[in-house]
Chains A and B, each alone.
Chain A
Amino acid sequence: MKNMHTPIAFTPAPLVFQDEALAEIQSMVRACMQCGTCTASCPNSFAMDLAPRQMWRMLLFGLKQEVLESRTFWLCSSCYSCTLRCPRGLPLTAAMAALKRLAAAEGDAVNRKKALFYQEFMQNVEQNGRIQEMGFMCHYFLAMHDPLLPLEYGPLGLKLLAKGKLHLGDSTQRGRLGPLFAKVRSMEEAS
């Protein structure tokens, strides 16, 4: 019975650092009432490891690592069905995109690799002003280090080639977006 009288050690509450990226997403789904309409409306929920409804709840509980380990948000195809139907009017598609950004910045190697598709695309836009579809796909293949990937796209490539649709594209706007990208980058770093 010795323990009964040992004074309870006073442990100070752990210092909670404000996690702004998480807080931003939490504020988007704060009013969720767990009705499940989002999950039921999602054409890709069958392939998700966490149902969207469940994921919002976990985010509100602060289970950031668990959410980042799931692949649910990478399966959002921005169809806006959930955003349209959510009875609370929550910006769910935007929250999915915010999670992609968070996973790119703070996630593991798998997350960073998944983010490459979007980053390579935007890098191409930054350089060329107008997306060069062919150059982008080539870069993406290289960045993914997956020798099978180009083969998967081979049949499509041949079809497009036969239709005269595989060309380098419009280069008249090369470099045009450099200043805007640079400015946005400096504004986002400052904030």
Chain B
Amino acid sequence: MKYAYYPGCSLGTSAEEYDVSTREVLKRLGVELSEIPDWTCCGASAVEPVSRLLTLALPARNLALTERECPGLDMLVPCSACYLNHLRVGRECATDRALPGRINEALGAEGLSYAGKVRVRHLLDVLASDVGPKAVAAQVSHSLEGLSVAPYYGCQALRPFALFDDPEHPRSMEPLISALGATVFGWDMGGRCCGASLMATRRDVALVSVAAILDAAAGADVIVTVCPMCQMNLEAYQSQAHHADTISVLYLPQLLGLAFGLSDEQTLLDKNLAMTDALKGKLRACEAASA
């Protein structure tokens, strides 16, 4: 299994732990990554309010590079906003015949062109569908038995395109969590918006969403995420959301890494902003049980 890897800007800066744990966990699972050479920002969620053509041209640039430099490979994207931006280039071109020409005219500024051949995949899709819980279970050396994990999917991995999960009742993380020996925390907030960039522009409104999600997670040991924006909103503003107790928030591959017995340098838990002593204690207990 081999993929063209698009880390995206956040994974190089504030979400370094997501990048490192993704690479390490995939390596352990026998998945090869080839980072797309010369990749650039896809515009995140800021580009669509600025320019419609740029909304498609920025990700199309990365897709064109993938097509040329990593022929035949699917593009693997760990950030949900980056995932959707790249995914919808193909989707929108399919419904608007004039678009491919316009996009390629723009890409021509750099001598690039895109023929529409790249399949865009979210990290969660690859883990759940291509790797699968069986292969994940085979790597578990430190069972997470007794750990209650609340799967948080966020928005753009699920919506508007229902490709690998049910957008109304997402469950794709559950077999993976079970494969680690952990328990899935039952809740219905997995697909509730975290507020996204409203956290910067209208914090009061975003905090209402964050508070609702954190409140619903009461009783879980940890929330797991698959997007750097969700991760930041859920872990960095817990006190402003007037949430009584801190709840640990980890990236999904960090959780996998813990069960695989990866080192601290490979899971980078010390980079997380919300890590409770309770979770650390539970993880030590899991470790002692499997030692």
Contacts and interface: CB of A to CB of B under 8 A. Distances in A.
A167 B16 CA distance: 12
Nearest to A176: B40
B193 interface: yes
B50 A122 contact: yes
B108 interface: yes
A79 B49 contact: no
Given A170-B13, A179-B109, A184-B57, A79 B51 contact: no
A1 interface: no
B160 A84 contact: yes
A180 B109 contact: yes
7 contacts: A84-B160, A104-B49, A121-B46, A122-B50, A128-B41, A181-B54, A184-B106
Given A43-B209, A159-B236, A180-B106, A101 B160 contact: no
Given A75-B205, A83-B159, A125 B49 contact: no
Interface string A42-78: 0110110000000000000000000000000011011
Decide if the interface of chain A is mainly helix, strand, loop or mixed: helix
A184 B53 contact: yes
Interface residues of B, number: 59
Contact of B192 (A43, A121, A177, A187): A43
Interface stretch (B196-204, B214-222, B258-266): B196-204
Interface in A138-191: 140, 152, 155-156, 159-160, 163-165, 167, 169-170, 173, 176-177, 179-184, 187-188
Interface stretch (A7-15, A30-38, A91-99): A91-99
Contact of A121 (B12, B44, B110, B273): B44
A117 B192 contact: no
B201 A74 contact: yes
Interface string B259-290: 00000000000110100000000000000000
Interface in A97-147: 97-98, 100-101, 104, 114-115, 117-119, 121-122, 125, 128-133, 140
A44 to B, nearest CB: 6
B195 interface: yes
Interface of A: 43-44, 46-47, 74-75, 77-81, 83-84, 93-94, 97-98, 100-101, 104, 114-115, 117-119, 121-122, 125, 128-133, 140, 152, 155-156, 159-160, 163-165, 167, 169-170, 173, 176-177, 179-184, 187-188
A131 B110 contact: no
A87 to B, nearest CB: 14
A79 B40 contact: no
Contacts of B168: 84
A152 to B, nearest CB: 7
Given A176-B38, A187-B53, A93 B47 contact: no
